[in-house]
Structure 1
Amino acid sequence: MDQQDEQQATISRITTGMPVIDSAGTEVGTVDLVQRGDPNAVTVQTPTADPGSSLDELIEATAVEEPDVPADLAARLLHTGYLKVTTELTRTGAVYVPADQIGAVADGRVRLAVGVADLPPEE
């Protein structure tokens, strides 16, 4: 089993609501979204707004895009898979955990291989 397969096997054992702990043992928050990797994922396309569409429609069209991070990072997250974790430790209220930064899943908890400061926050 290669590293990509191991990451997908690990991420498939994670469910929403599981507590997340970083490498230092800090309680990060809870899993809000589990996204398995798609090796065929392409970069996120920014929706092109019809000049006649209202601002509300534009906001709605862009508000649902996950992951809400810069495009190059979004492409990597979609490719490898990721968790979105609700947390009180960032201004935006959520961080993303790339699949390759998940250390272990045990005792109903997700333990990260990195510290919370190394995780990209939601934009």
Structure 2
Amino acid sequence: MSTQQQGVISRVTTGMRVVDSTGVEVGTVDLVQRGDPAAVTVQAPAGTDPGSSLDELIESAAVEEPDVPADLAARLLRSGYLKVSLARTGAVYVPAERISGVTDEGVRLDVPAAQLPPEE
């Protein structure tokens, strides 16, 4: 996570409005998670079946957020992210690098909301 991304995400607070790159208000910030470059990545032990053992390892870790596939979760934990409640249904995760700006009016993204990973 770059110093610039840390500075941007540190200005975000829960409840802020979120506007995507098309200018559409997509929802509000539910959770702000700053990045941790040393975040643990989930890997199956070498020489084992990656299917069930990886799933079991993920479940045993009991990490509630972000609720996305393990590889994406690891990237989000390292880079930092926002969880945004959508105006209509569900929630999406915004990687820190997708935040183009933060003002008193809210958070501006550099992608359309449709391109953001949904909560599972």
Same fold (TM over 0.5): yes
Identify the residue that residue 79 of structure 1 maps to in structure 2.
78
Please, what TM-score do these two structures have when normalized by structure 1?
0.80
Q: Match for 2:107 among 94, 110, 121?
A: 110
Percent identity between the two aligned chains: 68
Q: Structure 1: give runs of 5+ residues left out of the alignment.
A: 49-60
Structure 2 residue 10 is the aligned partner of structure 1 residue 12: yes
Displacement of 1:42 after TM fit? 1.4
Displacement of 1:89 after TM fit? 4.7
Q: Structure 2: give runs of 5+ residues left out of the alignment.
A: 43-56
Identify the residue that residue 56 of structure 1 maps to in structure 2.
none
1:1-123 equivalences under 5 Å are 4-43=2-41, 45-48=57-60, 62=62, 65-90=64-89, 93-123=90-120
The number of equivalent residue pairs is 106
| Separation in 2, partners of 1:80, 1:97 | 10
Write the letter of the residue equivalent to 2:79.
Answer: T
Identify the residue that residue 54 of structure 1 maps to in structure 2.
none
* Cα RMSD for the two superposed structures: 1.7
Runs of 4+ in 1 over 3 A off after TM superposition: none
SS at match of 1:46: helix
Write the letter of the residue equivalent to 2:32.
Answer: V
Write the letter of the residue equivalent to 1:38.
Answer: D
Displacement of 1:46 after TM fit? 1.3
Please, what TM-score do these two structures have when normalized by structure 2?
0.82
